[in-house]
Structure 1
Amino acid sequence: MQIIKISIIIPSYNQAMFLDETLDSVFLQTEKSWECLIIDDGSTDETAAVAHKWVIKDDRFKYFKKDNGGLSSARNYGLKLAQGTYIQLLDSDDLLIPTKFEKQLVNLNNTDICICDYRPFDNETNQDVVHRYLTPFVSPNNLVNSVILNWESKLSIPCHTALFRNDILFDNTLTFDESLDNHEDWVFWVKYFYYSQKVSFNREILAEYRIHPYSMTQDYFKMKNGFLQAIRLLEEFFKNNKQPEYARVLLKKRREILRRGREPLLIKYPKRLYRKIISKYKNVKGN
């Protein structure tokens, strides 16, 4: 039986308009030892038709349909099926540069995970969206602390920037937490780095992150509450693993979220502007 180097897991829910281009970016990889698992999470659009076109074209593409259960459910479905030595997560609207697998496999020599750089781009204009970029490169000296403290302030790891060992998931029964509406990726990365020994980096842009109106909601209060729920889950995780020092780090992150999140920015900025206008008006009136 031939060993598959990489399992690509692509959850898709009503993203047929982008899926074809995403699958093409997989097909064009210069490294040929891979399987691509397309997990249709109960789509009602043309996702199945797009997927079947690629299944017919190349038997490395495999299509599976399940009842809708959300992103984490679809990723976990794919992880159970994955046969590859390494895992590549890829959302159905994002893209890989053709040499990504080839170059990251070199970087993965004696490491557990390799992270590359990425480009956020506007779907309509193909222009860089600079304000949506945060570095994906964690501090190699203290992986867990770096991911906890810097997440969404200095750091973000889009799932398709990483290529990582599958056996770490299997040995530690590591999956995505399906109870979370958001920040499940943060919880996943914190746990993965906890179980990892060494990370490597490729500073080249080998992944592209699409920005479009159909992206998942960024509702402020929903994201904030999800972040706090994720912290509670990680606190329980480290408690069970008898790692109290990480509880103190999580407490620091919780305080940061609560401090910066008392008001949404869209509320804060108008208030600040209003205060400035009133202050100038009083100064003019006083003169």
Structure 2
Amino acid sequence: MISIPLLSVIIPTHNRPQYLPRAVKSALEAAPNGDVEVIVVPNGGDETWRESLADLLLDKRIIVSPVEKGHANVARNHGLSLATGRYIRFLDDDDYLYSLIACEQLKDLIDKKSNLSYANLDLVDEQGLIIKSVEPRNKTDYLIDALGGEHSTQPSILIFERNLVKNLRWDTEINKRQDVYWVYSILMQGTFKGVYFSKVVGVWRQHNGERVSRTKKYSQVYKQNAEKILKLKEALLINNLLCSDRSYAVATALWNCLHYGIMYNPIYWYKISLKIKDVNLNACPTTKMYDYKIIRFINPYYIELLLCPYRYLKKLFGYQYEV
């Protein structure tokens, strides 16, 4: 009889042989008594994994199953289709887990009879030096945190019960915010029960040059994000899960999309602003200027619209804007 592992860790990889072994080693010890399968999915014709994992492949808990298409979400979906563990976690090939603490996180999830766990995270540079540690902004409702937290959908901090995600798939048509939309698809089901684990469980590696400038093309990301958030809101309404705190979080997330996207398509974002007001009248973007009470009496759309010329000038001179 074939035993079912407690945990499956899925690692998509493409041309990162210098980081991959550490990710795999950390995953091998991420469950009690090593009760884990580690599914490595090279994608895009990558062969660099062969040499980098040569010494590890004697471990039968490691499964390597390549896919031809060069897309991390295709690789993640393939890994998910192979996974047999009771619990699932995803790990990028340049990141790694703090194995003992990740193991504690899994035990905590099981003990609390939840189906989703989220935790704290270390950000490190390319050399592995810690930049900072980050915690969720909301530690009682994961949905609110996922809508507003900068790092709350990062794969290495999350564990899912298999039944929660087994019928879902990562969106293979997108190249940005992949983890965000994956989490949204989970939250849309209305069956998640998230629990916060209060330790740092893993590392998210930051690479030089990763920050993408807010160009007209990139502004489409915010439009896409707004559409996804509106779909999530509708799913919450259908499942009777849109409480006042969540409606505020949804509206705030939409205002933040508008804040970065309005400069390129003000008419579209005006329509979105009307929908935001239907969700929650008190929300606004999370930039500092809205800390002033007098500003809060003005419709945020008109404030954001008036600031567009100033932001356009900043963009011309190569600056990002936050206000």
Class of the TM-score when normalised by the shorter of the 2 chains: 0.7 to 0.9
| Partner in structure 2 of residue 83 of structure 1 | 84
| Partner in structure 1 of residue 143 of structure 2 | 144
Deviations 1:17-39 (A, max 9, x none): 21122112223446211000000
Structure 1 Cα separation of the partners of residues 114 and 226 of structure 2: 27
Cα distance 1:204–1:268, how it changes in 2: closer, same or farther (>3 A)? farther
**Structure 2 unmatched ranges of 5 or more:** 264-310
Q: How does the TM-score come out when normalised to structure 2?
A: 0.70
Structure 2 Cα separation of the partners of residues 206 and 265 of structure 1: 42
Structure 2 Cα separation of the partners of residues 224 and 147 of structure 1: 20
CA contact (8 A) 1:135 1:157 kept: no
Q: How does the TM-score come out when normalised to structure 1?
A: 0.77
1:198 pairs with 2:193? yes
| Partner in structure 2 of residue 212 of structure 1 | 207
| Partner in structure 2 of residue 169 of structure 1 | 165
SS of the residue corresponding to residue 66 of structure 1 reads: coil
Deviations 1:218-251 (A, max 9, x none): 3433554223213324434654776396899655
Q: Which amino acid aligns with 1:163?
A: I
- 2:121 corresponds to which of 118, 125, 131: 118
Deviation at 1:67, TM superposition (A): 1.1
1:19 pairs with 2:13? no
Q: Name the structure, 1 or 2, with higher relative contact order (CA <8 Å, separation 6+).
A: 1
Cα distance 1:19–1:252, how it changes in 2: closer, same or farther (>3 A)? same
Q: Which amino acid aligns with 1:115?
A: Y
Structure 2 Cα separation of the partners of residues 5 and 35 of structure 1: 8
Deviation at 1:76, TM superposition (A): 0.8
Structure 2 Cα separation of the partners of residues 265 and 184 of structure 1: 31
1:186 pairs with 2:211? no
Instruction: Report the more deviating stretch, 235-244 or 225-234.
Output: 235-244
Instruction: Report the more deviating stretch, 103-112 or 242-251.
Output: 242-251
| Partner in structure 2 of residue 94 of structure 1 | 95
**Structure 1 unmatched ranges of 5 or more:** 273-287
CA contact (8 A) 1:115 1:137 kept: no
SS of the residue corresponding to residue 56 of structure 2 reads: helix
| Partner in structure 2 of residue 10 of structure 1 | 11
SS of the residue corresponding to residue 11 of structure 2 reads: strand
Structure 2 Cα separation of the partners of residues 54 and 265 of structure 1: 53
Structure 1 Cα separation of the partners of residues 137 and 198 of structure 2: 9
Structure 2 Cα separation of the partners of residues 121 and 86 of structure 1: 26
Aligned residues: 261
Cα distance 1:232–1:107, how it changes in 2: closer, same or farther (>3 A)? same
Cα distance 1:169–1:30, how it changes in 2: closer, same or farther (>3 A)? closer
CA contact (8 A) 1:51 1:63 kept: no
Structure 1 Cα separation of the partners of residues 124 and 186 of structure 2: 28
CA contact (8 A) 1:182 1:227 kept: no
CA contact (8 A) 1:182 1:223 kept: no
| Partner in structure 2 of residue 285 of structure 1 | none
Deviation at 1:144, TM superposition (A): 2.8
SS of the residue corresponding to residue 147 of structure 1 reads: helix
Q: Which amino acid aligns with 1:135?
A: E
Structure 2 Cα separation of the partners of residues 265 and 208 of structure 1: 37
Backbone CA RMSD of aligned residues:
3.1
Q: Which amino acid aligns with 1:202?
A: F
CA contact (8 A) 2:36 2:61 kept: yes
CA contact (8 A) 2:139 2:196 kept: no
Q: Which amino acid aligns with 1:156?
A: S
Structure 2 Cα separation of the partners of residues 82 and 219 of structure 1: 37
Structure 2 Cα separation of the partners of residues 271 and 83 of structure 1: 48
Structure 1 Cα separation of the partners of residues 67 and 312 of structure 2: 37
Deviations 1:25-71 (A, max 9, x none): 2234462110000000124451233234422x201001011112411
Cα distance 1:253–1:86, how it changes in 2: closer, same or farther (>3 A)? same
- 1:35 corresponds to which of 30, 34, 37: 37
Structure 1 Cα separation of the partners of residues 315 and 160 of structure 2: 40
